[in-house]
Structures are given as C-alpha cells and as structure tokens.
A and B are shown apart, each in its own frame.
Chain A
C-alpha cells in the first residue's frame, strides 16, 4: 500500500463530514441571518414611543436609521401620558409579542391635542445600557381630545445598532 492515498482519504473524509455546510454558500448565509434575527428578537424587551412636533418637516427614513435621542433635542419631544399615571417625553411598553405568528402589539398613549406630529416607536433591548433595535417613524396628522383613529405603525425591522435609546423623563 502506498503511503499517499491514506492522507488524501482522510482529507476527503473530513471535508465531507465537517465542512459540508460551508461548501453550500446559500444555505450557510441563510442560517447565519436567521440566528442574528433570532438573537435580536430575543433581546427585544420594550418599545419606546415618542412624539415630535412638525411631523411633515421630519425625514422618517433618516429618523429610523438611528436612535431618536441622537437626532433631536430632548425638549423637542412632547410630554406623553400612558393613561396609568406614567408621564414622560418617551414612554416604554414591555414587549408582549407571543408566538411566532404574532408580530403586532396594541398600546395607547395620551398625546397633547394638536396637528402635524411624527410618532416614533423604537425597539429597546434588555442590555445595560439598553441598545437600539429598530425604529418605526409615522406621520400623525392630528390628535383630537375626543376620539382618534388607531395608528397602524410602519413595520419595524429589527436590527442591532450601537446606540442607547434611553430618553429621560
């Protein structure tokens, strides 16, 4: 028996057994992305809602890229109430997305009566300090004292950006 076929067979065997998935690029990339998404989704612990005046002047596409905190002055934000005694320029609501199919959550905020607002919802992680996990920026044309139509927010795509979205009271 020649000494060369043995190492060659070992190499082929190891490639077939341990590196098979790497040789299929499409499947590997999908797997990694899924893991990242799952990781981000598992980090999501709260939604933070803030409302800005001058909604039509705002560029929602830009706002959604980063923490709102890094883009506006805090005193620009309107003071909100959650109807249960909490008050602040940004209100947090614990995530209540259960199951794999449920991707929405209903909340309500009390906003000063007026027109032309931008409503920004940010995904917040449970890390310390909390991390920004995505944003949904929505134009809010009018808030009445009596009854307001529900705002169906633009879908938020979860992503991980190094930015603490915390907005103080």
Chain B
C-alpha cells in the first residue's frame, strides 16, 4: 500500500516537472549564482588525501600544480594555499608555509584556522597576521606602460607586470571615452607559465575608427576582494589619456596599394586645391575649422 502511494507521488512529481506549463514557472530551487559555477579542481581532493596519508612532499607538488592552473576560483585558491601552508610546515619548510599563509591572509583577512590545527601552525599563523597588521608584508607592485595612441577599430592589448599579487586581488583597466561619465573595465588575465605577467585587451568595438581623432581616458588598478586599491597607475579623477587615430590616418599606408586612382587622397587634394583656388586657401579654411579661439588673461604679481 505504502509502495503504491510512493509510486503515485513520484509520478505526479515527475509529470509536473516535465509538463510545459510548469517548465516556464519559477524553479523550486534557485539557480546557482555565476561565481559559484567555477571549474572543479581535482588537485584539492588529491592533496587532501595525500596530507591525510602523510605524503606531504607529493601533496606540495599537487597543490602547486593546482595553483598553476589559470582558472582557479578565489575559494579554491584559499583552500590550496591553506593546504600548502599546512603541508610545508609538516615538512619543516617554514618559509614556504609563511608565503602561503601570507597570500591567503591578503585575500581573506578574517580567515581563521580550525581549532584543531597544530600548535606550531597556530603560532606561525599568529605571527604572520601580526606582520600583516603592522604592514611588514610586501606591497603589490604594478608595472605598466601608458598605452600609445592606437588605430581605431582594432583591439588594444596591454601587458603589465604585477609583483606580489595578493590572493583574490584583481587587476583591471578602467576606460571611458573622454566626456563620458562612467568607466568600463576589462580584467587582466595572468599569462600561462609566468606568475608576474598579465595581459588585458580592450575590444575593437570599444575604440571604433572615426573620421576625426578622439580621446579615451583610462587607468590601471589592482584591488583586493574588498575593492581596496592595492596598486595602480592613474585613477578615476586623474586618468591617463590616449588618442584614437582617425580612420584615414590609421589605414592609409596599407590601403593605398589596392585603392583605385579616383579614391587616392592625392587626386582629391589636387581637385580640392583647384576648386578652392589654391592650396593655401584650402589649408587655411581647413585648419580654421579645427581650432577654437581662447581668450587668455595673463596676470603678473606686482
């Protein structure tokens, strides 16, 4: 009797879930947020097992392999560094343990060890926390050159070197067209095989080629998980500026070879010169349109 009731209940539930009317209804369980959909990190489970079996050297290798992966989530990084610190301490390598916990604490200042952690580990952890409080930990250093004036309609790639990058911190380039209010941003991604090299690309559609040049304001920033600025170049109030070159100037050398004679700028310049009655007059008119008269009052201290 009970089995029959169960089968009926399951049938109703499955039928209800599969019916089209309910398919568009609000789901019973909320969908996971995007940041929770990170890739799995098999090294974490493997390293945990190795530590439990006392195979600390292999665990360190496993954890370092896990850290070298480019798509590790912040939560996974915290756990990787926690285990790396633990394994390193068991091996007597206090320097490596210290480095691991420093990186962990830079991102999660409120991280606490479990109560059953070994006394030696707790002691080291307390000292590192004290160092961070008194700012004896090395600061993040961002080395990046200003962006040279690019051609419009092409992506702009920026390379940066970031030393002592804090765990959980992100490097970004913020940019906006001069005159706009809000900045857009693009994250820097770490290059494979080099922990200090980062790269960001401004998409081509954000800097379209136009007939006249225009300016883009931008700045670089490394911020921790709490959006505290750790390093940067320029800021929102004092941005750097590059000028996007106009379409004509940008594409001229490559285009001239395949361009028909009647599209040659020289031809049209000659035609324009004849029509206006002289190159000088043409230039004068052209330049006067691009300039603005600025009255200036010069003042001198008596």
A contacts, CB < 8 Å to B: 41, 44, 47, 49, 53-54, 56-57, 81, 83, 93, 97, 100-101, 103-116, 119, 121, 123, 134, 136, 140, 143-148, 150-158
CB distance from B59 to the nearest CB of A (A): 49
Residue B179 at the chain A interface, CB threshold 8 Å: yes
**Is A113's CB under 8 angstroms from B293's CB?**
no
Cα–Cα distance between A109 and B234 once the two chains are bound (Å): 30
Contact A113 B299 (CB under 8 A): no
Binding site for A on B (CB under 8 A): 178-179, 215, 217, 234, 238-241, 243, 287-302
Q: Distance (Å) between the CB of B297 and the closest chain A CB?
A: 5
**Residue from the list B217, B239, B289, B294 in contact with A143, Cβ < 8 A:** B294
Chain B positions within 8 Å of A148 at CB level: 292-295
CB distance from B249 to the nearest CB of A (A): 15
For A53, list chain B residues within 8 Å (CB).
Answer: 241, 243
Which of B239, B240, B293, B294 gathers most chain A CB within 10 Å? B294
Known: A57-B241, A145-B289. A103 touches B294 (CB 8 A): no
Give the docked Cα–Cα distance between A145 and B285 (Å).
13
| Nearest CB in chain B: distance from A147 CB, A | 8
Given contacts A103-B302, A116-B178, A155-B301, contact A150 B295 (CB under 8 A): yes
**8 pairs of A and B residues whose beta carbons are closest in the complex:** A150-B295, A143-B292, A110-B291, A155-B299, A157-B301, A108-B295, A104-B299, A105-B298
The SS class assigned to the A binding surface is: strand
Complex Cα gap A151–B241 (Å): 23
CA distance A83 to B288 in the complex (A): 9
Q: Say yes or no: A158 contacts B301, CB within 8 Å.
A: yes
Question: Do A104 and B294 touch across chains, with their CB atoms under 8 A apart?
Answer: no
Q: How far is B302's CA from A111's CA once the two chains are assembled, in angstroms?
A: 29
Residues of A within 8 A of B297 (CB): 104-106, 150-153
Given contacts A53-B241, A110-B292, contact A152 B178 (CB under 8 A): no
- Min C-beta distance of A49 to chain B, whole Å: 7
B300 A110 Cβ-Cβ under 8 A? no
Q: Please determine whether A145 and B290 come into contact, CB atoms closer than 8 angstroms.
A: yes
Contact A113 B292 (CB under 8 A): yes
B291 touches A104 (CB 8 A): no
| Bound: A108/B295 CA distance, A | 4
When C-beta atoms are compared, the residue in chain A nearest to B241 turns out to be A54
Residues in A whose Cβ lies below 8 Å from that of B301 = 103, 155-158
B294→A111 contact, CB < 8 A? yes
In the bound complex, residues from chain A placing their C-beta under 8 Å from that of B288 are 110
Complex-state Cα separation, A28 to B292, whole angstroms: 49
Kindly provide the distance from the CB of B175 to the nearest chain A CB, expressed in whole angstroms: 15
Instruction: Flag if B292 contacts A144 (CB, 8 Å).
Output: yes
Instruction: Output the least CB separation between B123 and chain A (Å).
Output: 48
B293 and A103 contacting across the interface, CB-CB below 8 Å: no
- Name which residue of chain B comes closest to A83, CB basis: B293
Which of B178, B290, B291, B300 has the most chain A CB atoms closer than 10 A to its own CB?
B300
A residues less than 8 Å from B291 (CB atoms): 81, 110-113, 143, 145
